[in-house]
């Protein structure tokens, strides 16, 4: 499902067209996070543009491009296998802002649930995710992602793309 959004700008208009776009963005994130949680590194990295930048406070510097994104997922998988258990990401409270040229700025809450092997799931982290989404060959791709964690940024504003 795709919606032509090149003529929509500013905050979300109240139209069925925007509803289709919003559903498309939600489906994009659902698919992307499931790839990430299954450690499908290359398929997950392919949901980003070739020159994407991913910034998260637990890394020393931003990750650039699909190869680095995939390598980071492989690293996460190895660490998770050593430590045991399962991580799951849940995205909610999604705000979509359509910009000129059909660029989308999104902001959402991301909860990370950790389930230790044989244990009970707990909320491990609460994050704010700010993305810039663009279309590549008709499909949504992340060009930029900035993630903040509430436990590491208490008292500071969460990221917002301008």
Distance between CA atoms of residues 34 and 69, nearest Å = 15
Is the predicted pLDDT of residue 1 greater than 50, yes or no? no
Is the predicted pLDDT of residue 10 greater than 70, yes or no? no
pLDDT band at 16 (very low <50, low <70, confident <90, very high): confident
Q: What is the DSSP string of 105-147?
A: EEEEEEEEEEE-TTS--EEEEEEEEEEEEEEETTEEEEEEEEE
The pLDDT tens digits for 97-118 are 999 999 999 999 999 999 998 9
What pairing do the DSSP bridges indicate for beta strands 122-136 and 104-115? Answer: antiparallel
Fold type of domain 16-149? Nuclear Transport Factor 2; Chain: A, (3.10.450)
| Token pair for 46 | 């392919």
Q: What is the pLDDT of residue 160?
A: 63
| Token pair for 41 | 């590194």
Is the full-model pTM beyond 0.95? no
Mean pLDDT of 9-21: 72
- What are the sequence ranges of the domains in the chain? 16-149
- Per-residue CA distances from 22 to 30, 49, 90, 111, 155 (Å): 12, 20, 17, 20, 30
The sign of the torsion formed by the CA atoms of 24, 47, 72, 56 equals negative
Give per-residue burial for 14-44: e unless 16+ CB within 10 Å, then b. Answer: eeeebeebbebbeebbeebbebbbebebebb
Residue with tokens 């489906």: 27
């Amino acid at each position: 499902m795709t919606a032509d959004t090149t003529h929509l700008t500013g905050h979300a208009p109240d139209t069925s067209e925007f509803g289709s776009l919003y559903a498309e963005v939600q489906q994009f994130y659902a698919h992307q996070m499931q790839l990430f949680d299954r450690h499908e590194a290359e398929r997950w990295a392919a949901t980003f543009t070739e020159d994407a930048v991913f910034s998260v406070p637990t890394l020393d510097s931003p990750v650039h491009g699909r190869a680095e994104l995939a390598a980071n997922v492989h690293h996460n998988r190895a660490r998770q296998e050593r430590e045991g258990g399962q991580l799951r990401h849940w995205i909610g409270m999604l705000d979509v802002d359509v910009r000129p040229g059909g660029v989308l700025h999104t902001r959402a809450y991301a909860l990370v649930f950790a389930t230790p092997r044989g244990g009970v799931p707990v909320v491990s982290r609460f994050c704010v995710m700010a993305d810039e989404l663009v279309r590549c060959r008709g499909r949504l791709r992340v060009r930029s992602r900035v993630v903040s964690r509430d436990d590491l940024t208490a008292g500071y504003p969460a990221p917002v793309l301008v």
